[in-house]
Amino acid sequence: MKRELTNKYLSLFCTEMATAFQAGIAPEKCIRVLLVGADKDEKMVFESLLIELETGAPLSIALDKSGYFSEYMIRVTEAGEKTGRIVDAMKSLAKYYEMLDRFTVTVKNAMFLPTVLLATMTVVIIILLTQVLPIFNGVFARLGSRMSPLAEKFMRFGEWLAGLSSVFAVIFSVFCFIVILLKLFPQVRFRLIGGLKQKWGGRGILGEVASYHFLSIVTLSLESGMDIDRVIGLASTVSGGTIVTDKKNAECAKRIREGATIAEAMGDAGILTLRETQMLAFGIQGGVTDTTMAEIVRRKEQNLLDTINHLLSRIEPALIVTISVLVGVILLSVMLPLMGIMNSIGG
């Protein structure tokens, strides 16, 4: 089983290779230097590269034969070698993986607090229903009274949950097993994600993510010296996987073949908004296509992050209010009758 390389690691690797190429250092010599101080997993990656590099194979072939690197990275590297712009190719790959890493980390951090909050409050409610309410029920019984009908309903629901504890334990065990399986076998995870993308991807915020991914690849691939047809084809392959996205990408490729500019093609395909299409058209006319594309990608990334943060900022207070009201209702359904009994005893 081969280790899955992270976006952060790939960005660092591409930066190191770009520096080596810029300094005129052969790739095999650079890899030997990187081997010094590398951990066990890194050594496996570097040694697999050296096997091909020492035979005189170019870096793109070594990346392909090693089995550790993506199709996108291999093709961009190959294009850089053929056009003599390998330094630009490595730098563009480093920027691409850095963007992916930044986007992924930001989304994970934004989702962390709501997830922890939901899990914590769920546990609190389960404890109230299955452990606390039966204690109060015993207190009421010793006082010769009963809990309120609402509290009894909550307690019966808690008893039902407690009766299904073995079922929940099995479900939780299966869930943990699946998580471990997906972690240990990246290919299984990729197939599962691909299936989910095919069914639910391509629309809404997932569609925006696909467009952002497509534009990122196009922008950075053009910097490496690839021709536009190959860039669109590669971007379509990497960012596709859903019916909606594949349709947009196919339309874009079709318009490029018909002689449309890249701005017209992506605008007609719905990858760019009207405003973004106009902005890119101005950039093409002014001879600053790369800069304009990079700015559009930056704005799309920021808009995506703002949308996700806005969505989560609405979920957090909704979770807090909902769970607080639920806990309050459970406790009040017990405490109010108990306070009435205590007042009667005191009176």
Note whether 16 and 109 are same-domain residues.
no
Question: Does residue 44 form part of some domain?
Answer: yes
Q: 201 and 122, same structural domain?
A: yes
pTM given for the model: 0.69
Chosen domain end from 69, 86, 108: 69
Q: Are residues 31 and 105 in the same domain?
A: no
Instruction: Tell me, yes or no, whether 235 and 170 share the same domain.
Output: yes
What residues in the chain have per-residue pLDDT under 70? 1-4, 186-204, 224-225, 240-241, 340-347
105, 230: one domain: yes
19 & 148 share domain? no
Does residue 182 sit in the same domain as residue 47? no
What distance in Å separates the CA atoms of residue 250 and residue 236, rounded to the nearest whole number? 8
Classify residue 81: in a domain, yes or no: no
How far is Cα 249 from Cα 35, in angstroms, rounded to an integer? 40
Residues 102 and 230 in one domain: yes
Whether residue 107 is found in the same domain as residue 58:
no
* 211 class by beta-carbon count within 10 Å (0-12 exposed, 13-18 middle, 19+ buried): buried
Q: Cα 39 from chain centroid? A: 26
Q: Mutual orientation of helices 186-200 and 165-184 as an angle, nearest 10°?
A: 110
Distances in whole angstroms, Cα of residue 263 to Cα of each of 266, 277, 292, 296: 5, 5, 11, 12
Q: Does residue 80 sit within a domain?
A: no
Tokens of 242: 């859903």
Size of the chain in residues: 347
Check residue 132 and report its DSSP letter.
I
pLDDT, position 1 = 42
Alpha-carbon distance of 1 to 301, in angstroms, equals: 33
Place of tokens 């696909």: 210
- Please give the residue range of the domain that contains residue 57: 7-69
DSSP letter, residue 3 = P
Please identify, among 69, 86, 107, the residue that sits at the C-terminal boundary of a domain: 69
Count of domains observed in the chain: 2
Q: What is the pLDDT of residue 107?
A: 78
Q: Is residue 76 part of a domain?
A: no
Q: Are residues 36 and 139 in the same domain?
A: no
238: nearest Cα among 139, 117, 97: 97
Considering the domain architecture, whether residues 176 and 33 belong to the same structural domain is answered as no
pLDDT at 15: 92
Asked if residue 146 is part of any domain, the answer here is: yes
Beta carbons within 10 angstroms of residue 190's beta carbon: 12
Tell whether 275 and 227 lie within a shared domain. yes
Residue 268 lies inside a defined structural domain of this protein: yes
